[in-house]
Amino acid sequence: MNDLAGKHIVLGLTGGIACYKAAELCRALIKEGATVQVIMTEAAAQFITPVTMQALSNRPVYGSQWDAREPNNMAHINLSREADAILIAPCSADFMAKLLHGRADDLLSLTCLARPIDKVPLLIAPAMNREMWAHPATQRNLAQLRADGTTVFDVGTGDQACGETGDGRMLEAEELLEDVIAFFQPKVLRGQHVLVTAGPTYEAIDPVRGITNLSSGKMGFAIARAAREAGAEVTLVAGPVHLPTPRGVTRLNVVSAQNMLEATVERAQEATIFVATSAVADWRSANASDQKIKKDGSGTTPTLQFVENPDILATLAQSPRAVSGDLFCVGFAAESHDLLANATAKRARKGVPLLVGNIGPATFGQDDNALLLVDAHGARELPRNSKLALARQLVAEIATRKKI
């Protein structure tokens, strides 16, 4: 993906051991298509050298407001005018205090103050010892920075370089990258609560065996991420899959269709949008055994009987909140053939305003997909693309249909 293509980011480093993570972050931003101009404070240069950051960003690093390389000797103006965002990572407690007061006695704080505030957003990734983080002064500064329009990324929790454990670590480079990418996505679902089911379900036959399917959960996880990027609060009810939880998404792990139904119905109370991507097992064993079924050596095979699982999507689509329009339900259809006919029939059967068809065997486990959107007005294709790109398009389609 090139999620930051065309974006020019001023990456500011201030004094903190987390500067070592800024090197990774710089690479990650560039890999995603951004151009990066690094500015380092004097304190940052105690932790990592400008040589490293120049090599990674492929541009000379700026450090002084008196830098004579700029023909007009106004690095703070020139650098801030060309930026799409200024990202300070790590942002020390001292630097936060500086930003708060509008101080401008070094190039980085000067550039932040000189930036056109409506055009160049300021993003900070705080990094400090847990006591410094918890200090009322820092928390007060944080609140004021937010009120001034600064985007403050979370801090991580865990072991700190000082040997203490707690809140205040800078997020890892890949986490910050996800947050930066999300920052630039249009906030078409702001104020919405999106509930997503994803992955297969697992229906036990006995304690060691069960029935499941090849769904990887990738499409549902991509939709959860895209909805979060679009500003929604997101709950993801996930069957047994080994995928990382998208940042900022609340995840509930479930196993069987019955578990998934219970978790989903409960969470649907607050949801405004429900997207069912899960490949729910249609049947479960009617005679699941508490103990492992043993071979008795006679060659006799066990007889399995099945009962149908509840239909989670249909249940929610018939709920009073869905019928009144408060809960917008979106179904998926995993088909092996006749996509348009099957998806159209399924939309009617499930009673949902929007149904998204895809060819199951062609997409299960893959990173890309092609979708067919079927609604009351007809069908529209979203051509083959990465699942995340399709998820973002689908989120935009949902936002339009829900008239947010």
Active-site positions read: 162
x-or-dash string of contact with ligand CTP, 183-222, rule CB under 6 A? --------------x-------------------------
Please choose, out of 33-41, 76-84, 156-164, 328-336, the segment that lies near ligand CTP by the rule CB under 6 A: 328-336
By CB under 6 A, residue 391 contacts ligand CTP: no
x-or-dash string of contact with ligand CTP, 83-122, rule CB under 6 A? ----------------------------------------
Bridge partners of residue 359, in order along the sequence: 335
Name the token pair of 332.
């998926």
| Residue 357 beta carbon to ligand CTP: minimum distance, rounded to whole angstroms | 8
Q: Between 258 and 289, name the residue whose CB sits nearer to ligand CTP.
A: 258
In this chain, which of 278, 358, 363, 369 binds ligand CTP, going by CB under 6 A?
A: 278
| Residue 203 beta carbon to ligand CTP: minimum distance, rounded to whole angstroms | 11
Rounded Cα distance between 134 and 148, Å, is 20
Q: Between 39 and 254, name the residue whose CB sits nearer to ligand CTP.
A: 254
Q: Between 151 and 212, name the residue whose CB sits nearer to ligand CTP.
A: 212
Bridge partners of residue 355, in order along the sequence: 331, 374
Rounded Cα distance between 151 and 123, Å, is 5
| Residue 370 beta carbon to ligand CTP: minimum distance, rounded to whole angstroms | 16
| Residue 353 beta carbon to ligand CTP: minimum distance, rounded to whole angstroms | 13
By CB under 6 A, residue 374 contacts ligand CTP: no
Please choose, out of 143-151, 167-175, 265-273, 307-315, the segment that lies near ligand CTP by the rule CB under 6 A: 307-315
Segment 130-139 long-range contacts (CB within 8 Å, at least 24 positions apart): 130/160, 130/164, 130/165, 130/166, 130/167, 130/168, 131/164, 132/93, 132/168, 133/93, 133/166, 133/167, 133/168, 134/166, 134/167, 134/168, 135/93, 137/97, 138/93, 138/96
Rounded Cα distance between 107 and 286, Å, is 70
Q: Between 284 and 392, name the residue whose CB sits nearer to ligand CTP.
A: 284
In this chain, which of 282, 293, 321, 386 binds ligand CTP, going by CB under 6 A?
A: 282
Contacts with ligand CTP: how many residues (CB under 6 A)?
Answer: 18
By CB under 6 A, residue 257 contacts ligand CTP: yes
CA nearest to 35, candidates 44, 27, 43:
27
| Residue 333 beta carbon to ligand CTP: minimum distance, rounded to whole angstroms | 4
In this chain, which of 170, 196, 276, 394 binds ligand CTP, going by CB under 6 A?
A: 276
Q: Between 313 and 395, name the residue whose CB sits nearer to ligand CTP.
A: 313
By CB under 6 A, residue 254 contacts ligand CTP: no
In this chain, which of 22, 180, 280, 394 binds ligand CTP, going by CB under 6 A?
A: 280
Rounded Cα distance between 195 and 212, Å, is 22
By CB under 6 A, residue 404 contacts ligand CTP: no
Question: In whole angstroms, how far apart are CA 295 and each of 209, 285, 292, 299, 303?
Answer: 14, 19, 10, 8, 13
In this chain, which of 196, 223, 334, 395 binds ligand CTP, going by CB under 6 A?
A: 334
Rounded Cα distance between 389 and 124, Å, is 26
By CB under 6 A, residue 311 contacts ligand CTP: yes
Q: Between 26 and 223, name the residue whose CB sits nearer to ligand CTP.
A: 223
Please choose, out of 97-105, 167-175, 222-230, 326-334, the segment that lies near ligand CTP by the rule CB under 6 A: 326-334
By CB under 6 A, residue 238 contacts ligand CTP: no
Q: For residue 393, with 0-12 CB atoms within 10 Å meaning exposed, 13-18 middle and 19 or more buried, which class applies? A: middle
Would you state the torsion angle of the CA atoms of residues 152, 158, 159, 164, taken in this order, to the nearest 10 degrees?
80
Which residues fall within 8 angstroms of residue 352, CB to CB, at 6 or more apart?
313, 317, 329, 330, 331
Name the token pair of 229.
């990027």
Residues binding ligand CTP (CB under 6 A): 197, 257, 276-280, 282, 309, 311-313, 331-334, 346, 350
